[in-house]
Structures are given as C-alpha cells and as structure tokens.
A and B are shown apart, each in its own frame.
Chain A
Amino acid sequence: MPASHSLPVPAQPDGVGHESELIEPNPSIPEAANQLGIDAFSLYGLIQHGEVHPERASSGRFFLPLPQIEALLQGLPEDF
C-alpha cells in the first residue's frame, strides 16, 4: 500500500440508535472469530471473499449476526 494511501475513515454517526438495529448480541468480527476458535485474520478473509456476510453499523464497524455464525457451524456433528 502506498504511504500516501489513507485508510477509509467511516462517516460520523448521524444519530444515536442505529446500533440498536442490530440484533444483540452481535459480536464484532474479532469476537466472532474468537467464538469460532480461529484467527480474526481468517474471518476477515472469509468475509472479504463473500463466504460470510456481516452487517455494518452506522459507526462503520462490522458485526456478525448470529445466523451467520450458525451458518458457519452448519457442518458441526450433531452429537458435538
């Protein structure tokens, strides 16, 4: 990445309450990765390649809805 490149800074929230639109508890990506037992880098990679679909809060931060986590764990043995 060129030195002159700046990371995108999300826009300032335009109001309070947007976060509550997310189903709680929706973990952040690092928290979700921790729940899955994998590195956050791995989970961000899965998101980036369209295998996982996070939601984005108005703050610009990504969260993973619980159904998405459940979908990732669909292959878990039933007797697990």
Chain B
Amino acid sequence: MTESEHAIYRTALEAVKSQLQKLTALTEQLNQIAPHPESNANSATALTSTEISLMAGHPPTQWQVLREVLSLELGSVFLCARNEGAGKEYAIVQQFPAESLYAKANGQTTVLESGNDCIVLVGDYVKRARLTIQFMASDAVAHAQQIVWENSKGRDMSRVVRSISAQFNEAVSEEVHAGREHATISLGKRQSTGIGFKRGA
C-alpha cells in the first residue's frame, strides 16, 4: 500500500476495530463448539444439569441450564433442558441483561430454538450464530468502506477495502488458523463438569 492508502486504512480500521475484536472473540467461542460425531440423542440425555435454572418461553416455564453456549458482552446464550414426559426437551435460551431497556420491554430471556436432540440443536444454533456474525462482519466492512470512500478524494482505494474485508473474513472464519490456540469442546462425552463436554486437542 502507498502511504496515503495506509493512512486511510488505519482511519477506517480504527472505526471498526472494536467490531473486529468482538467478531474474533465470538468466532473463537463458536469454533470451540463441535458436535461429537458419535453422539446421539440418547447420550445427550445422560447430560446432567447444573443447579442454575431460568424461566423462559411463552408461557414461562423453568429450564435447567446445562451449559453456556456463548458468552456475550451483554448477556449469554445457554443450552437448557427440562423434563417432558418420559424424555427431555432441550432449548437454546438467550438471556439479556436484566437492566437493559430491551429486557424490560420484552423479558430477560427468549427461547431461540428447542428440540429433543441437543446435539442437533447446538449444531443448528452454531450455524445460525455463524450467519449472524457474517452479517455483522458484512455491515462492519460496509462502514469501513464508507469511511474509505469519504477519505479517498476520488482515488482508487480498492486495495484498502479488500484488505479490511480480508481481515473480517478471517475473523469470522470457522477454519482453525495455525498458531491460534484452539480447543475443541465436543458434545456427548461426560466429564467431571457433569455437563458432558470434552475438551480435546
């Protein structure tokens, strides 16, 4: 890049830096969730619940928290379970900060998805979350691009935009990059946590 390209690159990147960092952190969390291939609904039912429960759904019912799937800056997403007849029902439940305007208007929890197979449920949620972070990344790139154009004075700054886009593309990639410390949490293997997740290599 030329000096002027680099100056604009720095200005634009600075404006979206926090989004890039958040997306990287979210992607790392998602990359640590990998459904164990041999797992099935039967092994999933062996999962033990934590002592934590929350009320969610319409009408509100009590769900036991099995584990936190995503830790957000403002809130969390949990895998939960409840007894349903002879079996169990699982749900992905999002919890918003109690003090937020959104929670005051809409409730502190919402059931995002539910089903009888927690492996499938978590897998589906991970796919959904990946689409969300790709959407976030695309919007952040558009913001950066807008700043680039505003500062370009008619010059071709496509290299700058491509460079920023590539950074976001890498940030939301589900591929494990060399050098990135990575641990895989698999569903279906019971561990001392009692929640049945395995931390592998």
Within 8 A of A (CB), among B118-165: 128-139, 141-143, 145-146, 149, 161-162, 165
- Of all chain B residues, which has the CB nearest A10? B142
Number of interface residues of B (CB under 8 A): 48
The reply to whether B137 and A7 form a contact with Cβ atoms under 8 Å apart is yes
Quick check: which of B44-52, B57-65, B166-174, B188-196 contacts chain A, the rest being far away? B166-174
The reply to whether A45 and B132 form a contact with Cβ atoms under 8 Å apart is yes
Among B101, B133, B162, which residue has the most Cβ atoms of chain A within 10 A?
A: B101
- Of all chain B residues, which has the CB nearest A12? B149
| Binary interface encoding of chain A residues 67-78 relative to chain B, with 1 for a CB under 8 A from any of its CBs, else 0 | 000001111110
- Of all chain A residues, which has the CB nearest B174? A1
Interface size class of A (residues with CB under 8 A): 35 or more
B-chain residues with CB within 8 Å of residue A28 when the two chains form the complex: 139, 143
Closest CB in chain B relative to A73 CB, distance in Å? 5
Closest CB in chain B relative to A38 CB, distance in Å? 5
| Binary interface encoding of chain A residues 23-40 relative to chain B, with 1 for a CB under 8 A from any of its CBs, else 0 | 000001110000111111
Closest CB in chain A relative to B175 CB, distance in Å? 5
Closest CB in chain A relative to B132 CB, distance in Å? 5
- Of all chain A residues, which has the CB nearest B112? A45
Closest CB in chain A relative to B174 CB, distance in Å? 6
A-chain residues with CB within 8 Å of residue B143 when the two chains form the complex: 28, 59, 61
Beyond A45-B129, A59-B145, 18 additional contacts (C-beta under 8 Å) are: A1-B173, A5-B169, A10-B142, A12-B149, A29-B139, A37-B96, A38-B103, A41-B22, A42-B74, A42-B102, A44-B133, A45-B112, A45-B132, A59-B143, A59-B149, A61-B139, A61-B146, A76-B101
* Cross-chain pairs A/B with CB under 8 angstroms, 25 sampled: A1-B172, A3-B173, A7-B172, A9-B141, A9-B161, A9-B162, A28-B139, A28-B143, A36-B102, A37-B74, A37-B96, A38-B96, A39-B75, A40-B22, A41-B22, A41-B129, A41-B136, A48-B135, A61-B139, A62-B139, A62-B142, A72-B105, A74-B105, A75-B107, A80-B104
Query: B residues bordering A, Cβ < 8 Å?
Result: 19, 22, 26, 70, 72-75, 94, 96-97, 99-107, 112, 128-139, 141-143, 145-146, 149, 161-162, 165, 168-169, 172-175
